[in-house]
């Protein structure tokens, strides 16, 4: 739902924003030692789970560097004018063969909405989302989210 909502925002606000749905991986932060967590959880985490998952985690500094990378021209805003498969960017021109501009979650380069994995590479969602796109799910996500915002702004509790 987040990816579809981001695609709709990028389309509605062409030339103004770039949105990235990112999975940063498991980042080992001080949050795992929070005083808000129960002691039993912290003990199990520290002595059982952490040693097992540690080799598969991303250090906080590296995660921060990767997140900062998402602000580069590789992930441009969706442009106001598109011609064929070419989208203009401030610093580059994206074509189907140009690896410099990331593939958007909708399957087009420079779309303004991106699904990105922990390593900064885009997640190919085109095939996985094909059926739900054909069924109009993206529009349903937009309508559902706007309904939720309207109810919340009106002071109600959104119940779905």
Q: What is the 3-state secondary structure (H, E, C) of the chain?
A: CHHHHHHHHHHHCCCCCCEEEECCCCECCHHHHCCCCCHHHHHHHHHHHHHHHHHHCECHHHHHHHHHHCCCCCCCCCCCCEECCEEECCCCEECCCCCCCCECCCCCECCCEEEECCCCCECCCHHHHHHHHHCCHHHHHHHHHHHHHHHHHCCCCCCC
Is the residue at 20 inside a domain?
yes
Angstrom distance (rounded) from CA 58 to CA 117: 12
Give domain status of residue 158, yes or no: no
pLDDT exceeds 60 at position 11: yes
Residue 96 has pLDDT above 90, yes or no: no
Res 27 pLDDT > 70:
yes
Check pLDDT > 60 for residue 125. yes
Q: Is the pLDDT of residue 68 over 90?
A: yes
pLDDT band at 81 (very low <50, low <70, confident <90, very high): low
pLDDT above 70 (res 95) = no
* Residue 122 main-chain phi, psi, to 5 deg: -70, 150
Domain region containing 22:
2-153
pLDDT band for position 26 (cuts 50, 70, 90): very high
φ/ψ of residue 91, rounded to 5:
-115, 0
State the chain's mean pLDDT as an integer.
86
160 lies in a domain?
no
In a domain, 159, yes or no: no
Residue 86 has pLDDT above 90, yes or no: no
84-93 mean pLDDT: 45
Alpha carbons 12 and 137: distance in angstroms, whole number: 17
Provide the pLDDT for residue 98.
52
**75 in any annotated domain:** yes
Count how many domains the chain has: 1
pLDDT at residue number 152: 94
Residue 36 lies in a domain: yes
């Amino acid at each position: 739902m987040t990816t579809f909502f981001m695609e709709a925002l990028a389309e509605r606000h062409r030339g103004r924003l770039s949105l990235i749905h990112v999975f940063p991986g498991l980042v080992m932060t001080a949050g795992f030692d929070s005083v808000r967590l129960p002691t039993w959880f912290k003990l199990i985490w520290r002595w059982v789970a952490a040693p097992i998952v540690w080799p598969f985690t991303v250090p906080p500094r590296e995660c921060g560097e990767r997140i900062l990378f998402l602000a580069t021209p590789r992930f441009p805003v969706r442009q106001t004018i598109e011609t064929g498969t070419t989208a203009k960017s401030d610093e580059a021109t994206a074509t189907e063969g140009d690896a410099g501009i990331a593939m958007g979650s909708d399957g087009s380069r420079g779309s303004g909405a991106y699904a990105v994995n922990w390593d900064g590479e885009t997640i190919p969602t085109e095939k996985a989302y094909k059926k739900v796109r054909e069924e109009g799910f993206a529009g349903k996500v937009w309508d559902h989210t706007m309904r939720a915002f309207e109810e919340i702004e009106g002071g109600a509790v959104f119940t779905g």
